[in-house]
Amino acid sequence: MDAGNWTRVEEFIFLGFSLSLEQQILMFTFVLTAYILTLTGDLIIIVLVKMDTYLHTPMYYFISNLCFLGIGYTSTTLPKMLTDLLAETKSICVLCCFIQFYFFFVFGATEHLLLTVMAADRYMAICNPLRYSAIMSQDVCSRLAAFCWVACCLALMVPTIGVSQLSFCGSNKIDHFFCDFAPLLKLACSDTALTEVIFRIISWSVIISCVVFITVSYIFIIFTILKIPSTTGRKKAFSTCAAHFVVVFIYFGTVIFIYLRTDTSDSYYVDKVVSVFYSVVTPLLNPIIYSLRNQEVKEALKRFLEKCRSVASDAFIQGKNMS
């Protein structure tokens, strides 16, 4: 295409899903409910871990980081998605699109690394229990979490800058409900080869290395657990890993399907359906798995509610005496 005939794109239009009015309302209700429950569940866990001394352990420190990630991850796409479900024109400015792209992948990549660190934490707790407290100190946990955040923030700048330097001069309609990588590249008029190679290298490096490390960790964990003589001990050890393993399986399964395929042609509708799962459903499952199936979190919640009741009761009695 002749560069002189290019019309520079000022905004993008999301095509989203082709839904009837009733289906849009139904999907809006579903996404809004999931978003509210995700925010509520994640915030509750963060508050409990912060306030309850019984939860001041490496595992719950990483879980609270994971919950904070869940809030950022969903807030990057879902508010815009909810607005678009009620709007006739689903537009987003080019700069806003690149910002959404960056933070979506930063939160996603950080979750990869954090889940890997959590696997290492479970490995140390079960396979090296005598050295666990000395190795997984508060300082070490803080540094590991900081590394996850900083590494992903820096790494994702490279593909984001690459995408922002592409020329978008033809159609401005993104066949998705957020600024994902493949749909954006499809609209570019300039050569996308280098940007795609960089993105693929980062994606494959992060995902594959995390999956391999988590798999190896759990192989050692399972062998160690099977050596525990008592049935009660084995059940307790398995229960500490079960929640993390479920989250890893669900999250990595969907992400691998989307971002590690070599052929993505004519699959955008399927990608959008899967994207709804990992951007709406998976973040909702995280607080449910880590709270409803976790006895320590449930007991911490009971203590927190009892403390709130006690404070409210004391305030009521004090107010009554003053009157």
pLDDT single digits (tens) 306-319? 888 877 776 666 66
- Spans of all domains in the chain: 8-311
pLDDT tens digits for range 98-116: 999 999 999 989 988 998 9
Integer Cα distance of 72 and 106 in angstroms: 10
Average pLDDT on 24-52 reads 92
Beta bridge partners of 174: 14
DSSP letter for 176, please. Answer: S
Tell whether the model's pLDDT for residue 278 goes beyond 70: yes
Integer Cα distance of 16 and 27 in angstroms: 12
Name the least confident of 96-110, 126-140, 291-305. 291-305
pTM: 0.85
Question: Vertex 222, ends 219 and 226: CA angle to 5°?
Answer: 140
Find how far residue 286's CA is from the centre of its chain.
Answer: 9
Instruction: Classify 8-311 by CATH class.
Output: mainly alpha
Integer Cα distance of 142 and 61 in angstroms: 9
> CB-based contacts of 30: which residues, under 8 Å, 6+ apart?
280
DSSP secondary structure string for all residues of 178-220: S--HHHHHHHBSS--HHHHHHHHHHHHHHHHHHHHHHHHHHHH
> Taking Cα atoms as reference points, which of 186, 159, 180 lies closest to residue 9?
186
Residues shown for the chain: 323
Structure tokens at 8: 């520079």
> Taking Cα atoms as reference points, which of 106, 122, 105, 104 lies closest to residue 213?
122
Integer Cα distance of 152 and 108 in angstroms: 9
% of the chain exceeding 70 in pLDDT: 89
Question: Vertex 253, ends 35 and 251: CA angle to 5°?
Answer: 35
Confidence of residue 292 (pLDDT cuts 50, 70, 90): low
Question: Vertex 51, ends 46 and 55: CA angle to 5°?
Answer: 75
Structure tokens at 321: 């005496």
Integer Cα distance of 30 and 81 in angstroms: 12
> Taking Cα atoms as reference points, which of 156, 67, 78, 43 lies closest to residue 115?
67
Tell whether the model's pLDDT for residue 149 goes beyond 90: yes
Structure tokens at 137: 């100190």
Tell whether the model's pLDDT for residue 219 goes beyond 80: yes
